[in-house]
A and B are shown apart, each in its own frame.
Chain A
C-alpha cells in the first residue's frame, strides 16, 4: 500500500492547488524554514485521520490550537482540500478530505474514497474503507511511519512513548491492543467491587445478628431487676409459671363465682392472650363481690343517719334539761306570768303618784300666778281668805314638790319599771326554752322517721327503739362488708401475684424468643434471591477470571513474541543506528517481563538504559533508527509503504547527516521515503550520492498572496 501522489489546496502553508508525486523511492522536499515543507507532510495525516491530528491529544503537544486552513482573502469560498492517491493491489485509490471555508470548529471534515472501480464512498463508509483496507491507525502511523520534528525527542525520552514505539517495532501492536482492551476492563476492580459488596453485606449481617443479642442482654438486666436468675430463664420455668397462673386463676374464679374459660396451660399462645386480660376480667365480672358496693353504700347511709339521729337526740336532751332546770329555779310559766302582772300594777301606782305630784305642783303654780296677778300676796284667790306669807309658803311648797317629792316618786317609778322588765325577761326566757325544746324534739322525730325509712320499717312495726334497730342492722352490714372485703383483698392479692408471675413469664418468653433469634443461623441459602445474587456474583467473577486469564495469556503471547522478534529487530535497529551515527555503538531493545506486564526499553551492550547517557544528536539518531527499523518491519508485511521525515537533521552534524542519507537509501529498499529538509548536507547527499530513484522538489519563498510555491521539480 503505497501513496503515489498528494494534492493540496488551502491547507496550512499551501493556498493554491498543488500536486506532488510520491511514487519515487525517495521524494525530497527541500526548502528553507517557513516555505511549507511540514504542511505537506501534515496534509497526508489530515487526509487520512481528519481532525484528530489537529489537536493536542494527537500525541504531539505543538498541535494545540493548530490552524488548518490557509489564511486567504475574505470571500474565498473554496474549501480546504487534500487528496491522496494510493496504489493498492486492486489499483489506484483516491482519498479526499475537505473542509468547507465556513466550517465551524467542531464540524466534521467529510471524507470521500474513490475505489479502483471508480465507486465513491462517503462519510462513515469511506472511514470504514480506510480501516478495512489496512491503513494504519493514527497512533501507529505517528509512531511507525512518521518522524515529526516536534516529537523526535519525545519518541525516545518518554518512557511510555518509547515502550509503546518499541512494542510496535517488535510487531506487537495487536498484542498491545488486545492487552489494552482486556486490561481496560480492570478485572481487579471488578473483584474489588464484589468484595466491597460482600463486605457491606457481612457488616449488615453482623448488625442484624447483634440486635437480638443486645435485646437479650437488655432482657437479662430486666430479669435481674425482678429477681430472676439466669438459670430461671428457661422453658421449664416458663411452663411452671404458666401452670401456676392457670391454677391460681381457677381457684380465684371459684371463689369469685366466675364462670370463665381458662386456657390450657400448655397452649403458650392461649395463655399469653388470656393472661394479659385476666386481671380486668377478675376485677369486673365477680358476682360474689357485686353486692359489696351496695353494702358499703347501705353502711354509709346507716352511719350517716345514726350519727344524725344521735346528734339531734343529744341536742334535744340538753334543751329539755335546761328547761327543767329553768322551771325549777325561776318558776313555771304561771308563776312568771303572775310576777309580770304584779310588776305592772306596781308600775302603774308609781306612775299615778308621780302624775299626781305634777298636778299639785301645777295647781300651786297657778295659784301663785293668780296671787301675783292680783297683787295680793297674802290673800287666797279662791276664798279670798287672808293668809299671811301665802305666796312664800306656796313657793316653798312648790319647791319641795318639785325636788324632793318628785325625785322620790321618780325613783319609785324607775324601780317598778325595772322589776317589770326583769319579770318579763324571765317569762320570755322560759317561753324560748319551751319553744327550743319543742323544735329539738321535732328534729329527733324527723330523724327517727328517716331511720325508719332507711330500715324500711313503719309506724305499725313493733320496733320502738329505731336507733337500736339501726345499729343492729349496721353491725350486720358491717359483718358482710368485712367478709366481702376479705374476698376482694384475696382477689387483689391473687391478681397482683398473677401480674407478677405474668411479668416474669412474659420476660422469660421474650428472652427465649430473643435467645432463639440470637442463635439463629444466617442461612441465606434457602432464599431464592440469595441464590440469584450469588449466581450473579459467580458470573461476574467468571467474567473477571476470564479477563484476567486472557490478560495473562496476552502477556504470555506478547512476551513470547517479543523474545522471538527481539533479535531481528535489534539487527535492523543496530544497522540503522550505526549508519546514522557512523559508529559501532550498540543499542538494543530490551524486553522486561513482570507479573504486572511487559515493558520495553533501549539498553546498551551492558544492558544498562541507553537513553539517559545520550546527547541530543544521539537521541535524534536513535529516534530515527527506531523509526527506520519499524518502517522496514511494517513494509515487510505489506502495510503502509511510506515514511515521512520532517526535518530529520536536527542536531546532526555533517557526518551524521551523511549517515542519515545512507540510512534513508537503505530504508528506500523497503518503502518509499518522503523527506522534508532544509538545504544542506542531507539534501545534497540525497541529490548527489543516493543511487535510488528520487524526486526532488525545491520550494520557493512563501508569500502572503500566493502561499507556498514550487520552485523546481526534478526526477533523478
Chain B
C-alpha cells in the first residue's frame, strides 16, 4: 500500500485500539462505494460484515478481518453466516488486511470446508483463494478512502465514517 496509507492506518490502529477492525471495515465499504457498488449493506454488529452488489451486478458477502499479526481466525458463526449467504445467491468472500507496508487487501473466495472454524490461518494461506480482479478494482479507492477519511474525531469515529458512507446513495448502514 502507499506509504501514506500505511502511516495513516498505523496511526488509526494506535488511537482506535479495538475499534480499528470496524473502522477499517467501514473504509473498505467506502472503497467499494467509490468503486461503483450498486448496493452496499454494512453491518457493525451482527451478521455478515458487508453485502455488496458490484458494478457488474455480482453480489458478494464479505467477512472482514484485520490481521495485526498476519494471521486470522474465523469463528464458526462467521463461516456459517457466509455459508447462509450462498443460499441467498451471494458469493461468499473473506477480506483480510495485514499490518505490513506491502500488504494490500486480500479478497478471498470462501469455499465451504476448506477453511475450518477457530483455526489460525496465515494471510499467506488465504492468497490461494484470492480474487485479484476484485482486489484491483478497489485498491486505489481504498487508498483514497484512507487518505480522505482518517482525520477522524477522537470520539465517535465509527459514526463519522457512517456519515461518509451514508453520503453514497447505494449504502444501507445496518
| A→B interface (CB under 8 Å) | 191-192, 194-195, 198-199, 201-202, 205-206, 209, 518-525, 537-538, 541-542, 544-546, 548-549, 552, 595
Contact = CB atoms under 8 A, between A and B. Distances in A.
B79 to A, nearest CB: 15
Nearest to A548: B125
B136 A525 contact: yes
16 contacts: A191-B124, A192-B122, A195-B122, A198-B100, A198-B102, A201-B102, A518-B3, A519-B3, A521-B2, A521-B5, A522-B2, A523-B2, A525-B104, A525-B136, A541-B124, A545-B128
A191 B125 contact: yes
Nearest to A552: B116
B139 interface: yes
Contacts of A521: 1-5, 143
B125 A522 contact: no
Given A202-B100, A206-B101, A595-B119, A194 B124 contact: yes
Interface in B93-140: 100-102, 104, 114, 116, 119, 122, 124-130, 132, 136, 139
A522 B130 CA distance: 21
Contacts of A192: 122
A418 B124 CA distance: 132
A8 to B, nearest CB: 55
B70 interface: yes
Contact of A522 (B3, B122, B126): B3
Interface string B1-14: 11111100000000
A199 B103 CA distance: 10
A542 B3 contact: no
A537 B3 contact: no
B73 to A, nearest CB: 13
B120 to A, nearest CB: 10
B114 A545 contact: yes
A544 B129 CA distance: 11
B26 to A, nearest CB: 22
A518 B124 CA distance: 28
Nearest to A518: B3
B101 A541 contact: no
A525 B128 CA distance: 18
Contacts of A542: 127-128
A549 B3 contact: no
B38 to A, nearest CB: 25
A541 B106 CA distance: 13
Nearest to A199: B100
Contacts of B129: 545
A195 B119 contact: no
Contacts of B130: 538
B127 A538 contact: yes
A205 B125 CA distance: 22
Contacts of B125: 191, 541, 544-545, 548
Residue with the highest number of chain A CB atoms closer than 10 Å, among B4, B100, B136:
B100
A81 B68 CA distance: 67
Nearest to A553: B113
A462 B111 CA distance: 120
A181 B9 CA distance: 42
Nearest to B123: A195
A331 B159 CA distance: 129
A537 B122 CA distance: 13
Contacts of A525: 104, 136, 139
A192 B125 CA distance: 10
Residue with the highest number of chain B CB atoms closer than 10 Å, among A192, A201, A522:
A522
Given A202-B102, A545-B114, A519 B124 contact: no
B74 to A, nearest CB: 14
Nearest to B70: A195
Nearest to B5: A521
A233 B39 CA distance: 45
A538 B102 contact: no
A538 to B, nearest CB: 5
A396 B34 CA distance: 163
Given A198-B100, A202-B101, A541 B127 contact: yes
A549 B136 contact: no
A199 B70 CA distance: 10
A520 B130 CA distance: 27
**Which 6 A/B pairs are nearest by Cβ-Cβ distance?**
A521-B2, A545-B128, A541-B127, A542-B128, A541-B128, A202-B100
Contact of A191 (B4, B100, B101, B122): B122
Nearest to A523: B2
Contacts of A548: 125
Contacts of B2: 521-523
A523 B104 CA distance: 10
Residue with the highest number of chain B CB atoms closer than 10 Å, among A192, A198, A537, A595:
A198
B114 A195 contact: no
Nearest to B119: A595
Contacts of B119: 595
Contacts of B122: 191-192, 195
B147 to A, nearest CB: 10
Given A202-B102, A521-B3, A549-B114, 19 more contacts: A191-B122, A192-B122, A194-B124, A194-B127, A201-B102, A202-B101, A206-B101, A519-B4, A520-B3, A521-B1, A521-B143, A522-B2, A522-B3, A525-B139, A538-B132, A541-B128, A542-B127, A542-B128, A545-B125
A542 B102 CA distance: 20
B136 A537 contact: no
Nearest to A542: B128
A547 to B, nearest CB: 10
Interface in B40-95: 70
B139 to A, nearest CB: 7
Contacts of B116: 552
A537 B70 contact: no
B99 to A, nearest CB: 10
A124 B143 CA distance: 62
Given A206-B101, A522-B101, A545-B114, A198 B3 contact: no
Contacts of B101: 202, 205-206, 209, 522
A198 B99 CA distance: 12
B5 to A, nearest CB: 8
B6 to A, nearest CB: 8
Nearest to B130: A538
A559 to B, nearest CB: 14
Given A195-B122, A524-B102, A538-B128, A209 B139 contact: no
Contacts of A595: 119
A259 to B, nearest CB: 49
A523 B3 CA distance: 9
Given A206-B101, A537-B124, A541-B125, A522 B114 contact: no
A518 B125 CA distance: 32
A544 to B, nearest CB: 7
Contacts of B136: 525
B55 to A, nearest CB: 20
B40 to A, nearest CB: 24
Contacts of B70: 195
A548 B139 CA distance: 29
B146 to A, nearest CB: 12
Nearest to B99: A202
Contact of B102 (A194, A518, A522, A549): A522
A525 B139 CA distance: 10
A270 B77 CA distance: 65
A525 B1 CA distance: 9
A182 to B, nearest CB: 15
